[in-house]
Amino acid sequence: MSKTSGAGQGVIVVSNRLPVSLECAGGTCHSSPVSGGLVTALTPVLTVNKGTWIGWSGAPDVEGVDAALRLFSQETGYTLQQVGLTHEQIANFYFGFTNQIIWPLFHDSQFECNFNPDYWQTYLDVNALFACKTVESGNADDYVWVHDYHLMHVAKYMREAGDNRRTGFFLHIPFPAVDSFRRLPWRSELLNALLEFDQIGFQTLHDRRNFIQAISILAPHVKVTGRGQVVTAKVGGRTIRIGAFPISIDYKKFYRTARSAVVRKQAQHVHSALPDRKIILGVDRLDYTKGIPHRLHAMQKLFTRYPELRGKLSLLQVVVPSRATIPLYAKLKKEIERLVGQINGEFSEPGYVAIHYQYKNLNFEELLAYYRASNIALVTPLRDGMNLVAKEYCAANVERNGVLVLSEFAGAAAQLRNGAILVNPFDVEGVAAAIHQAYMMDEGERRKRMDRMRESIRKNDIFKWVDSFFASAFAP
C-alpha cells in the first residue's frame, strides 16, 4: 500500500469502469487487464490490502460477467465488484448526463450541453447503485476513494444509508469557472453532494480555485480557510480537505519500454517511412476538447507563412476512436478528415505528404515508437484536466532532443512550463509560429528544455500522486 496511507488501512476504489476488458459470448466472459496510469498506481495498493475495486464492466449486464470477475480477483489478489447497468441507464447516465452535460460543461463547451432532466434522474439513480454496492463492500474502517465526474453523488448516498466511512474524491477533468458551472440546472445539488466527501482533489490550483469560488457563491454557509496545496472547508461539524494533486504517469515504465529493442526498431521504421524530414506528432482521442481542427488550421498557416518548411516536416496525426455513436463526435471526425484532405491537396507533392492521418488505436509499443520518432509533439487541447500525452512524450524521448508545444489550457502546463513552448490553441498564427520556433531550435536548447521536463516528471510520477493524496487524507 502507499507508504503514507496508514498501516493496515483497507481501501475501496470506486470508478465508472472496472480495470478489466471483457469479451462475452454464449454466457461465458473472458477478462483481460486494462493498462493505464490509474490502474498501475492503485493495483499495488489494492493487492497488498486485499482491497476492492467497484465499477461498471463497460457493457450491459449479461450472464458470465460475475464469474469472469471472480477469476480475475483470484489472480490479482483484490476483489472486483460489478455495478450492472441496463441499456437505458447506459444511454441516459453515460452517453447522456456525463457525456452530454458534465463533459462539455466542465471543458468550457457549455453550448454543447443537452440539459435533459431524464439524464439527471438517471445519473442520480446510477450513483445510488454505486453507493449501495460500496456500502455492501469491504470493512468498517476501509477508506473509500471515488474517481471522477461520473460518481459525484456517491458519498451523499453512502451517508444517507448510514455509512460514515472516510471518503475521498478525485476529479480527473477540469472544474469550470463559476459562471459556466452556474448554467447547470442542478448546480446546488451537485455542489452539496461533493461536499459530503471528506477530501476532494483537483488536478491544478486553478481548478481548486474555481471550486472554491463556486462554494462562495452557491454555498456561502461553507467556510474555506488555509493556504498551500490543501485547504479546509467547514460544513456544519465536519472538516473537508480540498487540494490540488496533479496526476502523472509511471515514468520508469515509459522510459524503460521506450529504450527497448522493439520500440527502437519500430521508431526506425517510422523514420524510414518519412525520410529526410522532421516529424510533428499529434495523438488525441476523438473529442472536440482536443482542438484537432484548430491544430490543422495552424499547420495550414505554418506552410503558408513559412513556405520553406514544405517538404521538410510532416504532421503525423493519430486520432483514437471514441464515442462514435454520439452525433457530435461523428461530425467532428468528418471535419478532421475534410481538413486533412484540403491541406494535403494544397501542400503535398510527389514523394511528400503534409499530413499523415490515422484513425486507429495504438498498442503501447506503437505509441512509444511514435513518441520516440517524433521531433516535435503538438499537444494543444482547448481545455484539459491534465493531458498525460505531454508527460508520456517527454518520458519516452530518450534521445532528449524533442520539443513539446503545449496548450496553456492543459493542466500539464503548470508543471511543464519551464520546458515546453506554451501556446494558446485558439491562436492558429501563434501555434504556427511556435512550430517554427521548435523547428529552428538548436540542439542545446532542445536538450536543456527536455531535461527539465523529464526530471520534473520523474520526481512527480503516478506513485507520488497516490502518496500525496493519501498523505493529505490521513493527516491528523
pLDDT tens per residue, range 294-332 = 999 999 999 999 999 999 999 999 999 988 778 899 999
- Grid cell at residue 173: 477533468
394 in a domain, yes or no?
Answer: yes
153 in a domain, yes or no?
Answer: yes
Do 467 and 323 lie in one domain? The reply is no
Identity of the amino acid at 184? L
Query: Can you tell me the distance from the alpha carbon of 468 to that of 170, in angstroms, rounded to the nearest whole number?
Result: 12
pTM of the model: 0.94
Q: Which residue has the cell 491528523?
A: 476
Closest CA to 457 of 397, 378, 369: 397
The least confident of 68-72, 167-171, 394-398 is 68-72
Number of domains in the chain: 2
CA dihedral 78, 81, 87, 91 (to 10 degrees): -70
Which residues pair with residue 427 across a beta bridge?
Answer: none
HEC letters along 137-168? CCCCCCEEEEECHHHCCHHHHHHHCCCCCCEE
Q: How confident is the model at residue 3 (pLDDT cuts 50, 70, 90)?
A: very low
| pLDDT tops 90 at residue 424 | yes
Work out the average pLDDT over 351-374. Answer: 96
Q: 284 catalytic, yes or no?
A: no
1 in a domain, yes or no?
Answer: no
Q: What is the pLDDT, as a whole number, of residue 457?
A: 98
183 in a domain, yes or no?
Answer: yes
Do 225 and 257 lie in one domain? The reply is no
> Tens digit of pLDDT for each residue in 233-252?
999 899 999 999 999 999 99
Do 97 and 155 lie in one domain? The reply is yes
6 in a domain, yes or no?
Answer: no
Query: Can you tell me the distance from the alpha carbon of 57 to that of 75, in angstroms, rounded to the nearest whole number?
Result: 18
Do 159 and 184 lie in one domain? The reply is yes
Strands 376-379 and 403-407, how do they pair? parallel
Do 441 and 469 lie in one domain? The reply is no
The answer to whether residues 370 and 281 touch, using CB atoms and an 8 Å cutoff, is yes
| Overall size of the chain counted in residues | 476
The answer to whether residues 11 and 46 touch, using CB atoms and an 8 Å cutoff, is yes
Do 275 and 225 lie in one domain? The reply is no
Do 209 and 316 lie in one domain? The reply is no
Do 210 and 326 lie in one domain? The reply is no
Identity of the amino acid at 411? G
Q: How confident is the model at residue 60 (pLDDT cuts 50, 70, 90)?
A: low
Do 228 and 283 lie in one domain? The reply is no
Q: 384 catalytic, yes or no?
A: yes
Do 333 and 429 lie in one domain? The reply is yes
Do 272 and 130 lie in one domain? The reply is no
CATH number of 183's domain:
3.40.50.2000
Q: Which of 207, 284, 384, 461 is catalytic?
A: 384
| pLDDT tops 60 at residue 4 | no
Q: Which of 172, 206, 271, 436 is catalytic?
A: 172
Query: Can you tell me the distance from the alpha carbon of 261 to that of 243, in angstroms, rounded to the nearest whole number?
Result: 41
The answer to whether residues 242 and 232 touch, using CB atoms and an 8 Å cutoff, is yes
Work out the average pLDDT over 266-290. Answer: 95
Do 467 and 428 lie in one domain? The reply is no
What domain range is 153 assigned to?
11-248+463-473
Q: How confident is the model at residue 2 (pLDDT cuts 50, 70, 90)?
A: very low
3 in a domain, yes or no?
Answer: no
260 in a domain, yes or no?
Answer: yes
Q: What is the pLDDT, as a whole number, of residue 66?
A: 81
